[in-house]
Amino acid sequence: MLKTTQSLSDKAAILISTACTVHCLLIPVAIVAFPVLASTFFGDGAFHTILLWLILPTSILALTLGCRAHRDYRVVLLGLTGLALVGVAAVAGHDHLSEFGERGVTMAGSGFLILGHILNQRLCSHDHCHDHDAITEHHEH
């Protein structure tokens, strides 16, 4: 059960981080092509804040469950770095970082998160993570 939760959380976090990166890359082009988008939810800075509130619990859950099993703390370092950068970009926004700075920091943070979750998935696909689940289940019964 823990393995499934961890795997689904990793996949969700990768999807959310990818959505954030795609948003950063495409929204400037989309706003130029369709100016009305600037006044919608997708053109608003709140979009990043909402993604941050989605990515925080998802990443923390997946990375915590994974690290309990494989004990490779590079995953935590990548994840925390990514969360910190995405958090700074969401809080500081383009008012303090400039439009380009906000996008750059967000994309860097998303990149760190994606790498952390991919590493977490790879490490958890090895047998020692399955052994951890079996030990955990044995202790719970």
d(CA 136, CA 141): 9
Q: What pLDDT, on the 0 to 100 scale, is given for residue 129?
A: 60
Question: Which of 18-22, 87-91, 128-132 shows the lowest mean pLDDT across its residues?
Answer: 128-132
Q: 1, 2, 3, 8: which is closest to 117 by C-alpha? A: 8
Q: What pLDDT, on the 0 to 100 scale, is given for residue 37?
A: 65
Statement: residue 138 has pLDDT above 50: no
Range 49-65 average pLDDT: 89
d(CA 115, CA 131): 24
Range 93-114 average pLDDT: 88
Contact 60, 113 (CB under 8 A): no
Q: Is 108 exposed, middle or buried (0-12, 13-18, 19+ CB in 10 A)?
A: middle
Statement: residue 43 has pLDDT above 90: no
Q: How confident is the model at residue 26 (pLDDT cuts 50, 70, 90)?
A: confident
Q: 83, 47, 41: which is closest to 62 by C-alpha? A: 83
Among 3-7, 17-21, 60-64, 134-138, top mean pLDDT goes to: 60-64
